[in-house]
Structure 1
Amino acid sequence: MRLEGLRRVDVPEINRDAFREAIINAFCHRNYYEYAEVQIAVFKDRVEIRSPGGLYGGLTIEQIKKEQVSKRRNEIIANMFHEVHFVEKWGRGIGLILSREPDTDFKEVGEIFITMFPRKGIKKTAPETRAKKYSEKVGERWSEKWS
């Protein structure tokens, strides 16, 4: 959000084009034989789009990021998305995401492909740091209650 005079203007945390492309990719490239759904997970420091099926056809994360190649797992769905103008060109989705949101990261966990958008203005803390802060808080409250 930002203010322009007396008006509040909402500014999306994640670029709309990048987010749209990630959602379309998740549905277009997912494995429909997997009994799972595309998920959007919102965390304190990031937003993840999780797509069942992982990368297709031996592609690696490095290849899709640097070479912007695409292999279509679902030919019929990909063609339908192209017909209704959800997809403009093959192999441009990851490039579009990274051009609009350069800090976006990708990973595979088992058979799930995850697109991770860091949340702006949120410091990323390591799990060890979060655990330490939590245990310190619990210790403080314990001391207050039982002292």
Structure 2
Amino acid sequence: MSSHQQENDRKQSRRPRRIRRILAAVGLTAAVASLGLVAPSSASAAPQAWECGTGNVCVWSNINGTGSRCAWSNADPDWWNGSIQCSWSDTQNVRSVWNRGTSSSYNYVALYTGANYTGTRYCFRQDGGYDNDFSARIRSHRWQASC
């Protein structure tokens, strides 16, 4: 066998190995890429529109129960500096409200434009007391028997 034939034989025997390596690399790349399809996305963790726990009053920064949300189960005299702070409410209007209160003694939640239940008052009845296009800068709220 001539040296030229030996060289061609070596090249041909390398081709199947090279093809197998390329196929393995392509398969591995596809497998790694498919992992991204099953990984949970951060968007799935975002609250759904109008998501508000039973017993709470919830407010949102956008209409139709969307955007940033704050929720309380008790009265709060100061949303900006109280024990539970609504971080966006000092710079943005409340745009949606839902009263999901369950107390038999307090049928309403009153939202106030000032701290310590001062300023303009807006009342929302429990069991359906909501507004999907509200717009006011709110700073405090409390539960009330009537409004």
TM-score range, shorter chain: under 0.3
Structure having the larger proportion of residues in strand: 2
| Structure with bigger RCO (C-alpha 8 Å, 6+ apart) | 1
**How high is the TM-score relative to the length of structure 1?**
0.22
**Which structure's residues are more often helix, by fraction?**
1
Question: Which has more radius of gyration?
Answer: 2
